Structure 1
Amino acid sequence: MGLTSNNTLVATVLAAMALFAGTVWLWPRLARRGWRSVGGRIGLLLATQFMLFVSAGLAANHAFGFYASWADLFGQETDQGVVVDHTPGVRSSGPLKVTEIGDVPGRGGFRPSSVGQIQKVDIVGPTSHIASPAYVYLPPEYFQARYQTRTFPAAVVLTGYPGTARALVDKLHYPRTALELAKDGRMQPMILVMLRPTVAPPRDTECADVPDGPQTESFFAKDLPEAVTAHYRVRTEPGSWGIIGDSTGGYCALKLAMHHPKVYAAGAGLSPYYKAPVDATTGDLFHGDKTLRGRADLWWCLKHLPAPDTSLLVSSSRVGEANYKETLKFIERVKATETTRISSIILESGGHNFNTWRREIPATLEWVSERLSGRSASDE
């Protein structure tokens, strides 16, 4: 059974309940002083506690999508196979390969020209030498005959750490939300490229170019946009790309928009932080290089680097988010610049979780859409 399967979760909960009942039933028989009785009591207690721990962990993973499979959990992902796609309207050459084609969750059975399509892809970066899977949402207009020559703006969507890209589809509902907003006329049709910032698992690189290590920033700033643009009908004019993320992905979205404003015209951080941590998950990101350490600190960037010509969005909650005071300070710091624009979503209450981000995603997609360029004369 899969890690995210409902059957797995139900089986572990039932096993925990059975062990608890067995412990209560057998305890009187094991109330003696012999080593067998003591060992039996210890074994029952440990087994019950273990199953409770596993059940709680599986329930948390089921709700928040930290890991997608057992191999992902134990750091043994080996899914590097690619399949060349021959779907009409999709080019198959270049560093991006389509491996699966699926429906928008909740809209299965409908034609792509009505609800769009989700494609699982593998992206290999020629500059960074990073290979990463991703999910691409193509809006229904992409498949409609009257838009067959039209190009579309695009937005990269990032999870937190460790996160799973599929959670952006199934848990945070980005494709379905984008579809509904576009149908209501609240945002323009956009291509969404959904993946996790952990492109060198299990290491958390904080979207940095690590000396003698993963070149993650180069992957997101150069390889990813070029691969997607070469494969799909994506606009190439300045102002055509945005980036969104939550938690670690939110920090990455802000940093990439600030470091590469000519690539990302808008960056939205949901529950972000503003300085890259260095801990057991990251390892030594900077190798003593003070400039690299400074570039990973958004406060340092605002103080020491020219203010970038880009738009930023940050979110927090007055109650429930640890970043609330820092977010208010960041807003004021950005407002003091002349060229960087800042917007915010501040909820009255909301924790650092999927439920909070689902409340912020519709407004975030609208905000990004408003800041990306629409169709050009060549699309007419």
Structure 2
Amino acid sequence: MSLIGWPFLTLVVAVTVAAFVVAVVLWPAMSRRSAGNIAARIGTLTLVSGLVLITAATQLNAQFLFFADWSDLQGALNGTVTKTALSGGARAAEAAKGSASGAAAPLGPLVRSLPPGGRQDGDVITYSVKGPLSGIVGTVVVKLPPGYLDPGSATTRYPVLETFQGYPSTPRQWIQTMHLGDVMAQQVDAKRMRSALIVSPQVEVPPGVDTECVNGGQGSPQLETWLARDVPDWVARSFRVPADRSSWATIGLSTGGWCAAMVAMLHPAQYGAAIVMGGYFRPEFSPLYEPYAPGSALAARYNLVTLAVHHPPPVALWVETSHSDPVSYSSTRALLKAARAPIAVDAVVLQHAGHRIGLWKGLLPQSLSWLGTNLSGFRQTA
């Protein structure tokens, strides 16, 4: 019986309802004051409460696919996941080299101080940024690399890793929940990559709306422009970062994985690579949000599989998916099949895995090591 199918959910609900009915029927018989009756009441309440929690967990799992099947659940409990490495297109290091056509943030000054107006919490600073091209005013959370403000680092430029959270979430998801800064520090200590400036922009504009990071039609927010043009331009003006695209990359999970892939593939002059965890390669809009008409020019623009077939951009992608993840697997498989140079796709395909944070946390060191190996701007030098 499938862990996420309606028969299992129906069975769990039926057992829960039956337990509640039995508890109501037997409760008067357990009402007398005795040690046995008190223990029976406690046991009955515990059983019914536990079944209610299991019912809620089963429903949430069916909706969000935290665990795809029984093998996935067992693997999460014992810490074992079977995975396969697949590749398509060019080599990652080759895809991220050289130049690409399109707009990109120019080289900014060697600023020695932080931009004003930020709310600082240690090395994490929150800014409100207005995008002149998109017209969006949004939050951007920045995590400084270690030593950024030291006088000895005043002429050092740091690569940029732009993060995209899942939906619903906040710009701090990669810093607080995924602990990206801590994992990056471990990879730096192991000499697998350089320290980078972590930039986490707001993607839910307006708040609470799953815009899939795209530019909508007239009257809709221009999220792609905000994320891929306004935010990099602001970062280049405000922090000591390089201009070459081998020093800029994106990373995202779930919906944020789509966003990371989209901005990198549509803006290869700005980004050399993207890390995509449980993402997909065509937008998945909710029924309540339709930023453009099906069959429109924008609909064609955001089909990244078609882009990879006809106009493959020179970017490197590290992708995680699972045979059991209906959110990401079908479009990832299509992208792998379509990939040809100059795009490069390195995929980790899990045999039995769901769509959850715990899984992606375990793969974060591997993905950052891949970034440091294949992008010269993130590669640690002696």
Instruction: Using structure 2 for the length normalisation, give the TM-score.
Output: 0.67
| Equivalence for 1:101 | 121
| Equivalence for 1:263 | 270
| Equivalence for 1:183 | 189
Partners of 1:246 and 1:196 lie apart in 2 by 14
Displacement of 1:369: 3.0
Q: How far does the alpha carbon of each residue in 1:173-221 deviate from its partner, in whole angstroms, 9 at most, with x for none? A: 1111111111221111111112453232222111111112100000011
| Equivalence for 2:115 | 92
What letter matches 1:175 in structure 2? G
Where does structure 2 lack aligned partners over 5 or more consecutive residues? 1-19, 30-48, 67-110
Displacement of 1:332: 2.2
- Aligned 8 A contact 1:163 1:196 in 2: no
Instruction: Using structure 1 for the length normalisation, give the TM-score.
Output: 0.68
| Equivalence for 1:14 | none
Change (3 A) 1:25 1:226: farther
| Equivalence for 1:339 | 342
| Equivalence for 1:218 | 225
Structure 1 residue 357 corresponds to structure 2 residue 360: yes
Partners of 2:303 and 2:325 lie apart in 1 by 24
Displacement of 1:278: 3.3
| Equivalence for 2:156 | 150
Change (3 A) 1:26 1:235: farther
- Aligned runs of 1:254-333 on 2, under 5 Å? 254-281=261-288, 283-287=289-293, 290-304=296-310, 306-319=311-324, 322-333=327-338
- Aligned 8 A contact 2:280 2:329 in 1: no
Displacement of 1:317: 2.5
Which of 168, 175, 200 is the aligned partner of 2:206? 200
Partners of 2:378 and 2:253 lie apart in 1 by 28
Partners of 1:179 and 1:375 lie apart in 2 by 13
Partners of 2:238 and 2:299 lie apart in 1 by 34
- Aligned runs of 1:237-248 on 2, under 5 Å? 237-248=244-255
Partners of 2:135 and 2:366 lie apart in 1 by 35
Where does structure 1 lack aligned partners over 5 or more consecutive residues? 1-19, 30-47, 65-87, 103-116
What letter matches 1:257 in structure 2? A
- Aligned 8 A contact 2:192 2:373 in 1: no
Which of 154, 157, 161 is the aligned partner of 2:167? 161
Matched position secondary structure for 1:228: helix
Matched position secondary structure for 2:312: coil
- Aligned runs of 1:20-31 on 2, under 5 Å? 28=28
| Equivalence for 1:250 | 257
Q: How far does the alpha carbon of each residue in 1:241-266 deviate from its partner, in whole angstroms, 9 at most, with x for none? A: 10010111111111111110001111
Structure 1 residue 366 corresponds to structure 2 residue 362: no
Change (3 A) 1:131 1:372: farther
- Aligned runs of 1:223-238 on 2, under 5 Å? 223-238=230-245
Partners of 2:347 and 2:378 lie apart in 1 by 27
Matched position secondary structure for 1:252: helix
Using CA pairs under 8 Å that are at least 6 residues apart, name the structure with larger relative contact order, 1 or 2.
Answer: 2
Matched position secondary structure for 2:346: strand
Change (3 A) 1:233 1:25: farther
Partners of 1:321 and 1:355 lie apart in 2 by 18
Partners of 1:357 and 1:143 lie apart in 2 by 31
Change (3 A) 1:341 1:320: closer
Partners of 1:253 and 1:295 lie apart in 2 by 15
Partners of 2:378 and 2:208 lie apart in 1 by 39
Partners of 2:143 and 2:194 lie apart in 1 by 14
Indicate the larger mover: 163-172 or 174-183: 163-172
Root-mean-square deviation over aligned CA pairs: 3.4
Change (3 A) 1:208 1:90: same
Change (3 A) 1:330 1:375: closer
Matched residues, number: 292
Partners of 1:26 and 1:227 lie apart in 2 by 67
- Identical counterparts, % of pairs: 28
Change (3 A) 1:284 1:324: closer
What letter matches 2:328 in structure 1? N
Q: How far does the alpha carbon of each residue in 1:8-60 deviate from its partner, in whole angstroms, 9 at most, with x for none? A: xxxxxxxxxxxx9xx8699649xxxxxxxxxxxxxxxxxx89x969x969x99
Partners of 1:294 and 1:231 lie apart in 2 by 34
Matched position secondary structure for 1:239: helix
Change (3 A) 1:287 1:216: same
| Equivalence for 2:137 | 131
Change (3 A) 1:184 1:297: same
Matched position secondary structure for 2:377: coil
